Structures are given as structure tokens and as C-alpha cells.
């Protein structure tokens, strides 16, 4: 339509073990397998959101501890992406802190590249492990508000619907950003 590219590139980021692969596989297959390799993967998946078909390219990206020296890597990711899913575990404070840093890095690279809008969804995963929770729901909401991101708490293990909301929510935001630029 009007020569506009209709597929959407989504990068899923977060520290190791937060459930990035579980989240993606749940979305793609509706299933929770439990164990996932550490293989970097790119998936293509068609979904219908608001009655319109959408092709998503989803990148299960590896995390780099060394955020500063890897800036070129993040620049390339921002260049490729139409939106980000930033995942932490509600039982892992360090993974939540990493999401804050990733937001900053994405915003910096977005400005460098002159990208107008970059939709970001923040995901607090493993909400089923409430007895081991160290990050409050409210902390996720506040971070999302302050950074103008969407926020969902989910359980890739126990709730398919919550995972669906994440990706559909992001598709909404990506479509909005394309209309308004």
C-alpha cells in the first residue's frame, strides 16, 4: 500500500534466562516447552491484528554485557527494528536494571539515526513465580510511563493470552507510528 513495507521487524532483548525464547516460542506455537537453546534465531510469523494480516520478523537476539563497546551492534539493531520487546524476570532485579539501560541505548541510537518513533514494549516475565518476586509490578509501570513504553506482566509458562497481548500491543504501536510519521 503506497509502497509502504507491510512487514514489521521486532527485536526481543533482555539478559540471559529471563524467558525471551520461551516468550517467542509460546507466541509462535502456543506451547511452553521448558528448555530452550541459546541459539540466536530469526522467525517469520503471520498474525491477524484488528482484522488485518501482519507479517512479523522476530529476532531472538543475544544479550551483550558490554553495552558501550557494542554500540555499533545496537545501532544496527535499531536500524533494522520497527519495534522492541524488552524482557526482564520479576524474580531478577539485575534483569530489570538491564531493561532501563537498554531503553537508554535504544533512545540514543534512535536519535543518532534520526529515527522518528521506536515503539518499545517492556515485559516482566515469570509472574507465576510470585513467591520469588523481587521486582514489583509498580516498578515496571513507572519505568514504562517514564520512558513512554507499553508494559505487560506475563507468564510465558502459564498464560498464552498475556503473551499474545505483548505482540499484538506492539503491532498496534508500530502501525500507529507508521501512520503518524
Q: Which residues bind ligand GDP (CB under 6 A)?
A: 14, 16-22, 34-36, 125-126, 128-129, 155-157
Is residue 20 within 8 Å of 87, Cβ to Cβ? yes
Cβ closest to ligand GDP, residue 25 vs residue 56: 25
Cβ closest to ligand GDP, residue 5 vs residue 101: 101
Sign of CA dihedral 111, 124, 177, 47: positive
Q: Which three cell numbers stand for residue 20?
A: 525471551
Cβ closest to ligand GDP, residue 39 vs residue 181: 39
Give min distance, CB of 101 to ligand GDP, in A.
16
Edge-to-edge strand list for the sheet holding 120-125:
41-49, 52-60, 8-13, 83-89, 120-125, 150-153
The listed partner (Mg ion, ligand GDP, none) that binds 129, CB under 5 to 8 Å by sort, is ligand GDP
Give min distance, CB of 113 to Mg ion, in A.
27
Residue 21 binds Mg ion, judged by CB under 5 A: yes
- Contact set for Mg ion, span 126-165 (CB under 5 A): none
Cα distance between residue 175 and residue 113, in whole Å: 20
The listed partner (ligand GDP, Mg ion, none) that binds 156, CB under 5 to 8 Å by sort, is ligand GDP
Cα distance between residue 150 and residue 96, in whole Å: 15
Amino acid at each position: 500500500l503506497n509502497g509502504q513495507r507491510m512487514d514489521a521487524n521486532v527485536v526481543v532483548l533482555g539478559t540471559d534466562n529471563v524467558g525471551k525464547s520461551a516468550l517467542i516460542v509460546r507466541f509462535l506455537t502456543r506451547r511452553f516447552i521448558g528448555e530452550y537453546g541459546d541459539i540466536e534465531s530469526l522467525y517469520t510469523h503471520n498474525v491477524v491484528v484488528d482484522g488485518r494480516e501482519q507479517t512479523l520478523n522476530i529476532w531472538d537476539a543475544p544479550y551483550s554485557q558490554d553495552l558501550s563497546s557494542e554500540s555499533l551492534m545496537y545501532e544496527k539493531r535499531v536500524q533494522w527494528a520497527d519495534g522492541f520487546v524488552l524482557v526482564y524476570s520479576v524474580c531478577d532485579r539485575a534483569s530489570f536494571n538491564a531493561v532501563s539501560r537498554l531503553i537508554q541505548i535504544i533512545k540514543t541510537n534512535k536519535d543518532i539515526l534520526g529515527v522518528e518513533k521506536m515503539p518499545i514494549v517492556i515485559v516482566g516475565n515469570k509472574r507465576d513465580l510470585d513467591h520469588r518476586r523481587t521486582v514489583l509490578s509498580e516498578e515496571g509501570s513507572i519505568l514504562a510511563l517514564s520512558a513512554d513504553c507499553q508494559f505487560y506482566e506475563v507468564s510465558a509458562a502459564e498464560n498464552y493470552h498475556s503473551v499474545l497481548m505483548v505482540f499484538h500491543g506492539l503491532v498496534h504501536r508500530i502501525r500507529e507510528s507508521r501512520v503518524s510519521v
